[in-house]
Every structure is written in structure tokens, then in C-alpha cells.
Chains A and B, each alone.
Chain A
């Protein structure tokens, strides 16, 4: 990385950082970089920055780097870091806020995770419940891997674990209305 001038980087990213902090309820200055979050993170092996480094990037104002990281999509929200953090920094909430910000900014570095979440919520909005088979078919097609897990389907089908028909609640309009009201408040847009 070439030399960067931190004060101007912080100034450029100040509003974005404050928005991420407000949405997550996390004050990134609370972290004193002990690294306990990252030592226990079950997904750290697949991340480009470990969770501690994501906070460090934010502390220094490198919000863009955090938004472009794979880490924010690979976090499994297992709550191990938050449970162990001596400063009670809610990292899973921070990862959520970063994902939402990355989605808004069109900086999705893990299309598969993003597609999965969208397909999941699409199913909930349509039927009131998740239709697992529909979700997987949609996810596989959109992510360009139509035969993924196809070998598991016959056993799931024979054991009554998946059905081609969604279970739809009668009052699905009530659930659609929840999505609409959240949207009208500026949320759930991606």
C-alpha cells in the first residue's frame, strides 16, 4: 500500500463511518485491538481481513476497504466474538451494518451470500414463510450453479423434507405489509 494521509482519509469518510456506527450501535473507538474476536472466529480462515482488522480499518477511516472486504459476507453471525469481547463491541451488528452499506453502494464482493439472502427474503415476502426448495432452486439458478446439491434432492424429497409446493400463510398480506412499511422507512432495499 502506498503512503496515505490519514487525516484526509478520515475527513473524506467521516459521514459514512458515522452512519455505520449509528446503524450498528457500535463505537469503533471502544476496540483496543486485543484480537480475542479473531482468535475465536470460526470463519477467520476464509476471511481476507480478520474481524480485528476490520475494526482497525474503520478506526483509521478506511471505510471503503472494509466495505470491499470479503470478511463482512463471510461472518456467520455466530456471536462468539461479541460474547468474548472485553469491551462488548457488537461485531456481528457492525458486520451487518457494513453489509447493508456495501449493498447500497453496489460493492457486493460475495455475490453468492448476497443472492442467498435476497432469495430467502423474497420467499418470505411472497409466502409469509420460506419455501426451502424454491429458495434453493432460485439461488442455484441465479448463482450459475444449477446442479448444486442436486444429489441430495431425491432423499430429501422421498423423506418429505422438501416439497415443490410452498407453504403459504392465509394472511400473507400482513407479511407483505411489514416489508412495505419497513421499505417506506428507508430499509430492506437491497
Chain B
């Protein structure tokens, strides 16, 4: 299976471990990723806060390049996924918009190729059965709070692949890896997104609530599929802890990192050493890394 790959700005910067682990895991699962050459920023919230047309045109240039190759687009970042999908739907749904966008980006774009979240490609494209069959280091005993955030599953008319209130895709995935997903109420609560940066004074509260409820549900860690969710829950965890005077200490993983661990990759190769909240003590305490059948040893 070959996909056009749109990493987005964060995966080349603060979410570098998401990019590293997504590429490793894709290769292992037989997904060929063709990075869209010369891709540009999707504009994120800043563009749609500023101008509706700009917010549709910036993603469209990337999609037009993928369309020339005839490849569906796999997008790891939930926010990019949402913006690219919005652009595709707008162009597909109206000839007038198609012509406007064509004029603005100076390229032909019909909205033909699909835009899919990388999580959806892995779980529904590759399939859990195949993934389960490749697990060499099951995540036994690891209790995971699957955190979907907003833009991966909302609005459902746009995102499509899972339930907006109680999504299951990541829960089923971590189960296939041998871990135990915990039921909890904050799966799709907003982490405050870029407000955590622009208005940290108010952005810390939603972050704190998510971390607190994940812990209260008995989870050892949180799995995410969005670089901004990760940054807010991992990098700002120390700040949230200090502000609200409560011990949190809960490691955050990209779902691709969890797959990589279960497939036998060494933590360092997956970029786990780059987290603010060190996840290694947890993996060691569950004896997950001590499992003898690592991919490298069997190779």
C-alpha cells in the first residue's frame, strides 16, 4: 500500500519522535510513504481564524501535488488532517470553490484523492489482525488511556472514521498490542490546543483535567495521535503539576511509539528519549522491554 505522506510542520520539529516512529512502523507494516515534495504548512487554526479561503487554499496546494501522483494522503497530525480534509470536502462539493481554489493555488485540484488520518490507515488499512501477528513484545499489563482529542474525530461529518463521543480505534489498537485500554470520560475533551501557548494562564486547566482523569481511571500512560495534544500533555505537564499542586507523572506516547515498542524496536530508535516525562521507568516496571524476542535479536 502506497500513500502520499503529509508530515506537517510539527513532525519536523517538536513532534520529531512522531515522525520517526510513524516512518519506522509504516515500513514494518508494509506501508510505503511518499512524502509530498515541497509540502507547505496547512495554516492550522491561525489560517481559519483569519480567512476562510486562505484556510482552504493552503492545504489544497499539498493535495494537488498528491493528486498528480494519484495517491491517497496519510496525515499523522490531527489538526493537519482536519484542515486537509476540510479543503478536500469543500473542493469536492462545489464547482465554484474548485475554480476559486484552482485560481488561488495556481494548480489544478479536483479533490479526488482521499485524505486519511494515519491512525485510520494503520488500524483500518493495515488491519489489527496483521498488526497483532507482528507483535514480538506484547505490552502486557500496560494500562492505556487512549486520548483522541478534538480534530481527529470532530466534526464527525468531516472526519468520518470513528465516533465523536466515544471513539474506539486507538483502544482496539492498544488492545491488539497486548495492552489494556481503560474506559474514561476525557477521550475527546479539548487540551486547549494553541491556547496553551498563547494563553498558558487558561490553557493549563484543560490540560490538568485530562491528566488528572487519566490517572484517576487507573491508566499508567496516555496514548495520543496529535503533536499538539502530545506537546500540551507532555511538555506542559510539569507546569500543570506546579500550578495545581498535584502529582501527575503520567507518560505520554504517540500510538506509533507503542506499536514500535510492541514490534520490538529499541526505545531510543523510536525517539522515546526525547519526551519530557520519561516513559522508560514505566516500561521497565512492567518488564515490557525485557521481553527476549526483540526484532533485532531475531534478525
Contacts and interface: CB of A to CB of B under 8 A. Distances in A.
B112 interface: no
B176 to A, nearest CB: 27
Contact of B53 (A112, A136, A149, A185): A185
A161 B274 contact: yes
A57 interface: no
Interface stretch (B6-14, B24-32, B211-219, B288-296): B6-14
Given A77-B45, A113-B198, A187 B54 contact: yes
A144 to B, nearest CB: 13
Given A78-B190, A178-B61, A187-B53, A161 B199 contact: no
A115 to B, nearest CB: 8
A182 B150 contact: no
Interface stretch (B101-109, B115-123, B130-138): B101-109
A129 B12 contact: yes
A76 B40 contact: no
A96 B49 contact: yes
- The interface residues of chain A, by DSSP majority, are classed as helix
Contact of A128 (B41, B51, B104): B41
Contact of B103 (A129, A170, A181): A181
Interface residues of B, number: 55
A181 B105 CA distance: 8
A54 to B, nearest CB: 16
Given A42-B192, A178-B57, A162 B50 contact: no
A132 interface: yes
Contacts of A189: 51
Interface in A134-190: 136, 139, 148-149, 152, 155-156, 159-163, 167, 169-171, 174-175, 177-179, 181-182, 185, 187-190
B259 interface: no
B195 A113 contact: yes
A124 B40 contact: yes
Contact of A43 (B155, B156, B192): B192
A42 B38 contact: no
B43 interface: yes
Contact of A178 (B39, B46, B104): B104
Interface string A65-88: 000000000101111101100000
A160 B195 contact: no
29 contacts: A46-B202, A76-B150, A76-B193, A76-B194, A77-B150, A83-B164, A100-B50, A103-B50, A116-B197, A121-B50, A123-B41, A124-B58, A129-B40, A132-B9, A132-B14, A136-B197, A148-B200, A149-B197, A149-B200, A152-B235, A159-B16, A160-B274, A163-B13, A167-B13, A175-B40, A175-B58, A178-B104, A181-B104, A187-B52
Interface of B: 9-10, 12-16, 38-41, 43-54, 57-58, 61, 103-106, 150-151, 154-156, 164-165, 188-190, 192-195, 197-200, 202, 205-206, 235, 273-274, 276
Given A42-B192, A121-B47, A162-B14, 12 more contacts: A74-B195, A78-B151, A83-B154, A124-B47, A130-B9, A136-B197, A161-B15, A163-B13, A167-B9, A182-B53, A187-B50, A187-B54
